[in-house]
Structure 1
Amino acid sequence: MESLTNNPLMPVMPHFPASYQRGTQRIALPYLNRTVMISVDDITCLEGEGNYTFLYTRDRKKYLISKTLKEFERTLDGNVFLRVHKSHIVNLGYVRRGILGADRMLRMADGREVSVSRRRMKEIWDRLNEYYQNLLN
């Protein structure tokens, strides 16, 4: 199954708790002189770059949006999205491996590795454990 998740043509699959209501929230993204509607469930992670944010989706698309990461942090569901670093927010449904070694990285379903803040390590670890416990219940 791991080989399928690394296939660049296959969308990555999330793991959400049974209580999570999928498909209830969409966001409009201004992209290439038009507006693209994206289900929040399809966002794997966001990467801040000054006043811009790269938004990555499960179908392996990357959007450059002229909004700060802080703006996204205020609007996204805090039960599913977690700010793990000053420049990264992840969708917990797409995290495949917890904090890896001294490098403090999370492995995402699409193979991407995301840095974890040293200061917030315990909080992030606790949130990941809580999320995984909810998956099992």
Structure 2
Amino acid sequence: MDATLFPTAQPIAVVPQFPSSYTRGAQRIALPYLNRTVFISVDDILYLQGEGNYTFLYTRDRKRYLVSKTLKEFEKLLDATLFLRIHKSYIVNLGYVQQRICPKSRQVHLANGREIDISRRRVKDISRQLSQYWQQLYN
């Protein structure tokens, strides 16, 4: 068969958009993972998903880490100008948000194709904070 008929699937490039004032690679966090400690750059975290007393961290290299910390602990630890709690179960990295919020869908679209729901009560506040972030990004 001809190779041009069935092209190989290329992974989608997950590229963040950070303001020029932000220094990349400045902060790393240590995660206890499988009897060892893994250091992850904060810039590489796409989003965090809370499950009770545990949190899943999703990174741009498509890895998922399970950590025995709550989202509230991560919310205190991470930079509030870069990370935003959009739901009781989710914190997103604003550098990976791709589209503006549609009021009807109440979702954030990330660079990896994931769509995450936004809390009904906080839609206006979250859209305001996203607008401020994008103003920083393009000014």
Same fold (TM over 0.5): yes
> Deviation digits for residues 25-77 of structure 1, max 9, x if unmatched?
00001111111000000001000000000100011111111000000000100
Which 4+ runs in 1 deviate beyond 3 A? Answer: none
Structure 2 distance, partners of 1:81, 1:36, is 20
Structure 2 distance, partners of 1:136, 1:103, is 25
Aligned residue in 1 for 2:52: 50
Aligned: 1:93 with 2:95: yes
Report the TM-score, using the length of structure 2 for normalisation. 0.90
Structure 1 distance, partners of 2:55, 2:110, is 18
Structure 2 distance, partners of 1:106, 1:40, is 20
**1:97 Cα deviation (Å)?**
1.1
- 1:25 corresponds to which of 19, 27, 38: 27
Q: Which amino acid aligns with 1:47?
A: Q
Aligned residue in 2 for 1:39: 41
- 2:115 corresponds to which of 108, 113, 116: 113
Unaligned runs of 5+ in 1: 1-5
Alignment of 1:7-22 (within 5 A): 7-8=10-11, 10-22=12-24
Structure 2 distance, partners of 1:75, 1:101, is 30
Q: When you count strand as a share of all residues, which structure comes out higher? A: 1
Name the larger-Rg structure: 2
Percent identity, aligned pairs only?
64
Unaligned runs of 5+ in 2: 1-8
Mapped contact 1:81–1:90 kept (Cα < 8 A): yes
Q: Which amino acid aligns with 2:95?
A: G
> Deviation digits for residues 81-100 of structure 1, max 9, x if unmatched?
00000000000000001223
Report the TM-score, using the length of structure 1 for normalisation. 0.91
The 3-state SS of whatever aligns with 2:100 is strand
**1:103 Cα deviation (Å)?**
2.8
The 3-state SS of whatever aligns with 1:121 is helix
